[in-house]
Amino acid sequence: MGRFIADRTELGRLLSADRKKTRRIVFTNGVFDLLHAGHARSLAAAKSLGDVLVVGVNDDASVKRLKGERRPIVPLAARAELLAALAAVDYVVPFSEDTPEALIREVVPDVLAKGADYAGKEIAGADFVKSKGGRVELIPIVPGVSTSDLVTEILRRYR
């Protein structure tokens, strides 16, 4: 079971200890509103790329800026708790910026994992990770499973 780490200094200490044990650090991020099977599969795939999975999760204010005033549906504390409960996840850390670039620079992951829907798009932190000798990996997306799809289906069924 993972841990929610609100203090980035603490995260740095934990990752330093992991690196001393030659563990490969993988980083991914997202909103993770209405956690679903697609999230679980992509996080498991990200974890398979290394030894330690750090999940950056947008705080509520950044979700509102990115997704609109009606989001998130699930507040940060609950989203982080659910993420930390997944076997694939080692650390969950919030970020308030619109992109995880600053957090990625603090984590300095060996692998930056993003969904395959980012193919051909600029990935925040990718150039930094590559400059440090790391790599960027695209994770397959589970078709037909998304938070937006869930919201649409809930509205359709319960109107």
Cα 153 to Cα 38, 72, 140, 150, distances in angstroms: 16, 17, 23, 5
Q: In this structure, are residues 72 and 79 in contact, taking their beta carbons and an 8 Å threshold?
A: yes
3-state secondary structure of 87: coil
- pLDDT tens, residue by residue, 90-122: 999 999 999 999 999 999 999 999 999 888 889
Task: Give the span between the Cα atoms of 83 and 137, in whole angstroms.
Answer: 20
Bond before 72 cis per omega within 30 degrees: yes
- Tokens at 55, concatenated: 């999940």
CATH (residue range 3-158) = 3.40.50.620
The answer on pLDDT for 129 being more than 90 is yes
Euclidean distance between the first and the last CA atom of the chain, given in angstroms as a whole number: 37
- pLDDT tens, residue by residue, 8-53: 999 999 999 999 999 999 999 999 999 999 999 999 999 999 999 9
Task: List the domain boundaries for the chain.
Answer: 3-158
pTM score of the predicted model:
0.94
